[in-house]
Chains A and B, each alone.
Chain A
Amino acid sequence: MVSISLRNVCLDYPLYGAYDYSLKRRLLGHLIREQGEMRIIRAVDNVSIEAAAGARIGLAGPNGSGKSTLLRLIAGVYPPSSGNVAIKGNIVPLLGLNAGVNLDFVAEDNIALLLRISGRKPSRAVIDEIWAFTELEERMQRLPLRMFSSGMLMRVLFATATAFPADILLLDEWLSVVDEHFAEKAQRRLLNLVSQAAIVIIASHDQPLLRRTCTRIINLDHGRIASTAVVEPTSTPPIELREKRA
Chain B
Amino acid sequence: MNHASETARRPSVLHIFKIYYPDLFGGTLTVIRDICASLKDSFASAVLTCSQSAKRHEVINDVEVERVHSYGNLLSLPAAPTYPWRLWRKIADHDLLALHAPFPLADLVFAFGLGRKRPLVVHWHADIVTHAGLRWLIEPLMRRTLQHAKAIIVSDRVLVDHTPLLREFEDKCHVVPFGIDTTVYDWPKIEPHHVNDRGRLVLACGRLVPYKGFDVLIRAAVNRKFEVWIIGEGVERPRLEQLIRELGVGDRVRLLGSVNDCERIKLMCLADVFVMPSVTNAETFGLVQLEAMAAGRPVVNTALDTAVPRVARHGMEAITVLPGDAEMLGEAIDTLIRDPERRRRMGLSARTRAVTRYSATAFKEGMETVYRDAVAMPRKEEVATAAEEPHPPGWLDSVRIAAALAWSDMRHRYVRSLLGPFWMSLQMAIVVAVLGSVIGQMSNAGVLARLPMLALSMTAWTFLNSVVLDSTTALQGSASLIRDRALPPVIFLLQCTFRNALFALHNACVPLVLWLILTPQHHASRALEAVPGLLLFVACTLALSLVLGAMATRYRDLKPIIESSLMLAFLSSPVIWSSDMINHRSTVMRLNPLTHLFAVWREPLVGGHVDTISIVYVLVALALLSVASALTLMHLRKAAFWI
Mutual binders A and B: yes
Determine if B610 is an interface residue (Cβ-Cβ < 8 Å): no
A89: contacting residue among B391, B393, B415, CB under 8 A = B391
Nearest to A114 among chain B residues (CB) is B485
Roughly how many angstroms separate A23 CA and B548 CA in the complex, as a whole number?
Answer: 13
Roughly how many angstroms separate A69 CA and B554 CA in the complex, as a whole number?
Answer: 20
Roughly how many angstroms separate A16 CA and B556 CA in the complex, as a whole number?
Answer: 11
CB pair B486–A117 under 8 Å, yes or no, is no
Nearest to A118 among chain B residues (CB) is B485
**Please, which residues of chain B bring their CB within 8 A of the CB of A78?**
637, 640-641
Determine if B555 is an interface residue (Cβ-Cβ < 8 Å): yes
Nearest to A100 among chain B residues (CB) is B481
**Please, which residues of chain B bring their CB within 8 A of the CB of A87?**
391
Determine if B135 is an interface residue (Cβ-Cβ < 8 Å): no
Give the contact stretch, choosing among A47-55, A90-98, A125-133, A147-155. A90-98
CB pair A95–B401 under 8 Å, yes or no, is no
The size class of the interface chain A forms with chain B is 35 or more
Determine if B71 is an interface residue (Cβ-Cβ < 8 Å): no
The size class of the interface chain B forms with chain A is 35 or more
CB pair A117–B481 under 8 Å, yes or no, is yes
B391: contacting residue among A83, A88, A95, CB under 8 A = A88
A119: contacting residue among B397, B405, B558, CB under 8 A = B397
CB pair A84–B483 under 8 Å, yes or no, is no
| Distance of B524 from chain A, by nearest CB (Å) | 36
| 8 A Cβ contacts from B615-643 to A | 637-638, 640-642
CB pair B391–A77 under 8 Å, yes or no, is no
CB pair A119–B555 under 8 Å, yes or no, is no
| 8 A Cβ contacts from B469-492 to A | 480-487
| 8 A Cβ contacts from B145-199 to A | 164, 167-168
Determine if B557 is an interface residue (Cβ-Cβ < 8 Å): yes
**Please, which residues of chain A bring their CB within 8 A of the CB of B592?**
none
| Distance of A132 from chain B, by nearest CB (Å) | 24
* A-B contacts, CB under 8 A, total: 93
Q: Quick one: CB contact mask for A73-107 with B, threshold 8 Å, 1 for yes?
A: 00111110011100111110101101110101100
| 8 A Cβ contacts from B387-412 to A | 388, 391-393, 397, 400-401, 404-405, 408, 411-412
CB pair A79–B412 under 8 Å, yes or no, is no
Determine if A22 is an interface residue (Cβ-Cβ < 8 Å): yes
Roughly how many angstroms separate A72 CA and B168 CA in the complex, as a whole number?
Answer: 20
A76: contacting residue among B167, B412, B486, B555, CB under 8 A = B486
Roughly how many angstroms separate A219 CA and B144 CA in the complex, as a whole number?
Answer: 34
CB pair A13–B641 under 8 Å, yes or no, is yes
Q: Quick one: CB contact mask for A138-182 with B, threshold 8 Å, 1 for yes?
A: 000000100000000000000000000000000000000000000
Judged by DSSP, the binding face of B is: helix
| 8 A Cβ contacts from B124-160 to A | none
Nearest to A104 among chain B residues (CB) is B415
| Distance of A86 from chain B, by nearest CB (Å) | 8
**Please, which residues of chain B bring their CB within 8 A of the CB of A99?**
480-481, 483-485
CB pair B485–A93 under 8 Å, yes or no, is yes
Roughly how many angstroms separate A96 CA and B482 CA in the complex, as a whole number?
Answer: 11
Determine if B3 is an interface residue (Cβ-Cβ < 8 Å): no
Roughly how many angstroms separate A98 CA and B637 CA in the complex, as a whole number?
Answer: 22
CB pair B404–A116 under 8 Å, yes or no, is yes
**Please, which residues of chain B bring their CB within 8 A of the CB of A45?**
none
CB pair B168–A21 under 8 Å, yes or no, is no
Determine if A29 is an interface residue (Cβ-Cβ < 8 Å): no
CB pair B408–A88 under 8 Å, yes or no, is no
Determine if B380 is an interface residue (Cβ-Cβ < 8 Å): no
CB pair B484–A22 under 8 Å, yes or no, is no
* Known contacts A21-B557, A99-B481, A116-B401; A93 and B168 CB within 8 A of each other: no
CB pair B404–A21 under 8 Å, yes or no, is no
CB pair B391–A96 under 8 Å, yes or no, is no
* Known contacts A93-B484, A113-B408; A76 and B168 CB within 8 A of each other: no
Roughly how many angstroms separate A149 CA and B460 CA in the complex, as a whole number?
Answer: 43
Roughly how many angstroms separate A188 CA and B28 CA in the complex, as a whole number?
Answer: 65
Nearest to A72 among chain B residues (CB) is B483
Nearest to A68 among chain B residues (CB) is B483
| Distance of B142 from chain A, by nearest CB (Å) | 14
**Please, which residues of chain A bring their CB within 8 A of the CB of B55?**
none
CB pair B480–A113 under 8 Å, yes or no, is no
CB pair B393–A119 under 8 Å, yes or no, is yes
CB pair A21–B485 under 8 Å, yes or no, is no
Given contacts A26-B555, A93-B485, A96-B480, 19 further A-B contacts (CB under 8 A): A13-B641, A21-B554, A21-B556, A24-B557, A72-B483, A72-B486, A77-B482, A77-B640, A78-B640, A79-B638, A83-B168, A96-B483, A98-B480, A100-B480, A102-B412, A104-B412, A113-B405, A117-B481, A119-B401
